[in-house]
Structure 1
């Protein structure tokens, strides 16, 4: 009787590769579930008739009420309540086809990071500042055309490069955010930003505050503060927002100011009326105050398309030259002491 010969077990290579995912899955090392990126966007274009003191100008403008944009966003489930998240968002001008935000490819937002149900969300890249989020939350409409503080705020702090942003979960109605941005200058803190905020929500009432400190120049630290609140009564939503800006520049060039805005939204079926009034008081120079009033009506055609019509007016004192900014572009140049008014009629479509 011949002895039985045994061979070491051999698995064909092709079959091994096919079964590898099974073994990895059994070991708990399988790849996390993956979601395809979401393409989204918004197109806003309108006719504007503006008088800034040099005669009336009629123009076709992009991003009047909301900035025209398209972007990609998505997430990947990492397990344990954690996800990897990302957003890449481009701003553009419908009237010319040019890129917005100074020609940046993803000038509106570009970030990647993590979110966890228990610990919050942290992302890195180019973000809206936490300070901007507070302003947009308590200026009804979102700090866009028609919001008085969209005309009076410092636009250079609304988005921050080289930034890390953290958002906490809500705890007993409270939540917080924190952002730091790096100036990235060797041996210098110029450009560094520190920006925390806190919010509280209880039913229809919401309130929040934020501060932002920036080393703009070696001899100039800037500080911005804002405090806001809103209440939604159903038939009307009301909001109030205060804003302060301080610097260390001499009075002739200082931008130190106090400003406030009161805003309201009145639903009319699926449509809405938006109202805003605000004032700005220059701290460093006399006769540098301004006031602004705006009204807008939004008419809903469908879930993704609406029409809007609005009127905005700024009254400038002798040493003020505030202009009517759209949500994505600066307003026309205004000479000192001139008032500005603008009527708009446009269309907004989201996808």
Structure 2
């Protein structure tokens, strides 16, 4: 019996140091689902009524943790998995932690993280896009890279008073590559450091009622994809600002693009939005988006209006109405370019969603 007491005491002493340094881990997530109605939903002009997931925020669950390493240094990590709530299928091409998966250190000078991470456009533009880069009916449909994520990424983020500075470098952003009918994820290529590479950075100033940001993003072509090579480059520059007065917020932004991955392209994206906090629970938002294709006259525009009602701190509902006007054969739908909408046709949609955050 005495030996058992000794063993228990030794075990407690052995575990104690690890308990003190144990990482604090938080489980969190978002569940978002609703109903959507669209006209002109296919080439025949048919309507579509469906259950749609991730209308406002992509559904996800995740783990985030932090450990005090002493001397003002903290170890941090995030593992975040996306999924479709209507089917339970994993998002981001079936990746377990496709939204984010990184580990790093944090000090008073900022944080350095390594892994799969969001690009700088995602990090900084979310505060300046009227629909908060919603999965549907937002600027995301006109340029999916605004919420881009990259594999194999090193990122630095620092906050200096009202200024936030961030920069990242991806050794291989993780483009799907199909060979003989088998799809794999691109990685670093021996002898070709540029293949599938991405890099970017940005600055944000936010103080009082005013905020502004400027961002640069660059991607290289991927060896192994037909018609691509690492000398091809897509470049984006974005600038945006917001201003709060009373219960109102005005948001405006511009995204410049020039690239030749998958063919020469040059276009501009403009947006302007207004948000009104009608009550403590009700938020009303209106937004307009204009896409200027510099290679031809296919310049669609989109209007969106949204009402968000907070039932509690964790649960809210959204009613969103959108309209897209296509021009000269453009085929922008409320859920993005290249949809099944017939080129040149306009589209109207209504989405009613409920979202729970935990």
**Normalising to structure 1: TM-score of the pair?**
0.86
2:343 matches 1:336: yes
Deviation string 1:222-255 (CA, Å, 9 cap, x unpaired) is 11110011111131011111001101369xx433
Does the CA contact (< 8 Å) of 1:147 and 1:276 recur in 2? no
Deviation string 1:117-162 (CA, Å, 9 cap, x unpaired) is x210111111110122222221033211565422211438711111
Does the CA contact (< 8 Å) of 2:212 and 2:240 recur in 1? yes
Q: 1:20: how far off?
A: 6.5
Separation in 1, partners of 2:106, 2:48: 47
- SS of alignment partner, residue 168 of structure 1: strand
How many residues end up aligned between the 2 structures? 327
Separation in 2, partners of 1:15, 1:134: 52
71-80 or 33-42, which moves further after superposition?
33-42
* Residues 1:346 and 1:248: Cα distance change in structure 2 (over 3 Å): closer
2:80 matches 1:89: yes
Residue in 2 aligned with 1:185? 189
Separation in 2, partners of 1:200, 1:331: 35
Q: 2:243 aligns with which of 231, 254, 266?
A: 231
Residue in 2 aligned with 1:243? 255
Deviation string 1:1-39 (CA, Å, 9 cap, x unpaired) is xxxxxxxxxxxx9699579769x98xxxx8763243111
Does the CA contact (< 8 Å) of 2:331 and 2:338 recur in 1? no
Deviation string 1:66-121 (CA, Å, 9 cap, x unpaired) is 111111111111112211111111111111111111111111111111111x2101
Q: 1:47: how far off?
A: 0.4
2:284 matches 1:273: yes
2:210 matches 1:205: yes
Residue in 1 aligned with 2:40? 52
- SS of alignment partner, residue 93 of structure 2: helix
Q: Which has the larger radius of gyration?
A: 1
Separation in 2, partners of 1:37, 1:95: 28
- SS of alignment partner, residue 37 of structure 1: strand
2:327 matches 1:317: yes
Separation in 2, partners of 1:198, 1:190: 27
Q: 1:287: how far off?
A: 2.0
Residue in 1 aligned with 2:185? none
Q: 1:122 aligns with which of 90, 112, 119?
A: 112
Q: Aligned ranges for residues 144-183 of structure 1 at < 5 Å?
A: 144-145=134-135, 148-155=138-145, 158-171=148-161, 173-183=162-172
* Residues 1:202 and 1:294: Cα distance change in structure 2 (over 3 Å): same
Does the CA contact (< 8 Å) of 1:219 and 1:248 recur in 2? no
* Residues 1:343 and 1:16: Cα distance change in structure 2 (over 3 Å): closer
- SS of alignment partner, residue 140 of structure 1: coil
Residue in 2 aligned with 1:299? 309
Deviation string 1:197-232 (CA, Å, 9 cap, x unpaired) is 011122110111000111123341111110011111
**Normalising to structure 2: TM-score of the pair?**
0.84
* Residues 1:157 and 1:190: Cα distance change in structure 2 (over 3 Å): farther
2:137 matches 1:132: no
* Residues 1:121 and 1:32: Cα distance change in structure 2 (over 3 Å): farther
Question: Structure 2: 5+ residue runs without aligned partners?
Answer: 1-5, 173-187, 222-228
Does the CA contact (< 8 Å) of 2:125 and 2:213 recur in 1? no
Question: Structure 1: 5+ residue runs without aligned partners?
Answer: 1-12
Deviation string 1:277-318 (CA, Å, 9 cap, x unpaired) is 01000111x221010100010112112111111101111112
- SS of alignment partner, residue 273 of structure 1: strand
* Residues 1:249 and 1:79: Cα distance change in structure 2 (over 3 Å): closer
Does the CA contact (< 8 Å) of 1:146 and 1:276 recur in 2? no
Residue in 1 aligned with 2:27? 39
223-232 or 332-341, which moves further after superposition?
332-341
Does the CA contact (< 8 Å) of 1:181 and 1:192 recur in 2? yes
Residue in 2 aligned with 1:218? 230
Does the CA contact (< 8 Å) of 2:131 and 2:287 recur in 1? no
